[in-house]
Amino acid sequence: MTFSQTVFYVFSAILLFAALRVITARNPVHAALWLVLAFCTSAAIWMQLQAEFLAIVLVLVYVGAVMVLFLFVVMMLDISMARLRQGFWSYLPLGAFVALLLVAEMVLVLGGRLAGFHDVPSPPPLAAGYSNTKELGRLIYTEYVYPFEIAAVILLVAIIAAIMLFAALRVITARNPVHAVLFLVLAFGTASVLWMLLEAEFLAIALVLVYVGAVMVLFLFVVMMLDINVARLREGFWSYLPLGAFVALLLVAEMVIVLGGRYAGFYEAPAPPPLAAGYSNTKELGRLVYTEYVYPFEIAAVILLVAIVAAIALTLRQRKESKYQDPTQQINVRREDRVRIVSMPSEKKEQGHPE
């Protein structure tokens, strides 16, 4: 037996022992530490098998991030050991079934005669100076660069969409109105990032400037300054539930129709033409607004201006039943208008009058 084989068997024994202690240790912190040892031992075996990239990823991602975070979470939680031990037997049948499946897979792979794995040709010998990480990087950035970029974009969009869905869910489930507004700001910011990924820069900028920068900030300060009765808001939750559920069902139906385009004939629509190099969504939108649609744009601007002036005029009109302030009178007020000193003669007490 060579030295390399001896090291492999020793590491394998340590790995099996650590994995066994993960599921048999009664203390969750000890189980997490044994799992860290199992990951590190697996990384050592990968290094011995000349799979340096897998070893580095296993140490950096699982040991350096996931397991350390999990370890601190377990240490900070107040876990009831008695409660964990009581639920052990309820998970035993499922755990035994999964364990038997894993053992069956290992027997089929290691005992290759039953599956015919011995007929597979052995890989060619590695050249001197071969690096698994270097070869993996070469393949990713040459032959598989487009699938790699597509997968990266899909993962990025999925992460951003997950954050937006979580923020939108917290908007309607947060009990504190200020927290709900902050989650709504997060949802708008995340939606603007999605617009940027879809090359709709103008919509992203408008969403940030108008909704996040003005409307939501103003709404946030209004909510913080108002004395909102949270208990009263909770009492009215069930009264709004039927209407909210109806609107939610309508939105879900619209999303199903749009995403499942085969039912609405969306797949028959022609695909948009490819964008030219240096294309700018904002520049193209400005060109269309001020050339082909300049008259509708001006008409809409005039209508909005008239509506704003009319709303201000209706608000400032004098009505008998309305109370309003006159800043001119407030500035020109004098002391004599506010306080009047009245001189009254002193009264004498009558003789024999009881106190």
pLDDT band at 305 (very low <50, low <70, confident <90, very high): very high
**Which has the closest alpha carbon to 171: 219, 208, 243, 209?**
219
What does the radius of gyration of the chain's CA atoms come to, in whole angstroms? 36
Long-range own/partner contacts, residues 18-27 (CB < 8 A, 24 or more apart): 23/95, 26/81, 26/84, 26/85, 27/81
Tell me, what's the pLDDT at 112? 65
pLDDT tens digits along 170-200: 888 887 777 888 888 889 889 988 888 887 8
What are 121's two structure tokens?
């040709």
- Give Cα 126 to chain centroid, integer Å: 44
Q: Give the mean model confidence (pLDDT) for residues 45-54.
A: 84
Instruction: Check whether 299 has a pLDDT greater than 90.
Output: yes
Tell me, what's the pLDDT at 71? 73
Q: What are phi and psi of 196, to 5 degrees?
A: -65, -40
Instruction: Check whether 164 has a pLDDT greater than 80.
Output: yes
pLDDT band at 81 (very low <50, low <70, confident <90, very high): low
Instruction: Check whether 228 has a pLDDT greater than 70.
Output: no
Instruction: Check whether 317 has a pLDDT greater than 90.
Output: no
pLDDT tens digits along 264-273: 566 666 666 7
Tell me, what's the pLDDT at 166? 92
Tell me, what's the pLDDT at 201? 83
Instruction: Check whether 138 has a pLDDT greater than 80.
Output: yes
The answer to whether 27 and 11 have CB atoms below 8 angstroms apart is: no
Instruction: Check whether 91 has a pLDDT greater than 80.
Output: no
| Least confident window among 240-254, 256-270, 278-292, 312-326 | 256-270
Which range of 73-77, 105-109, 323-327 scores highest in mean pLDDT? It is 105-109
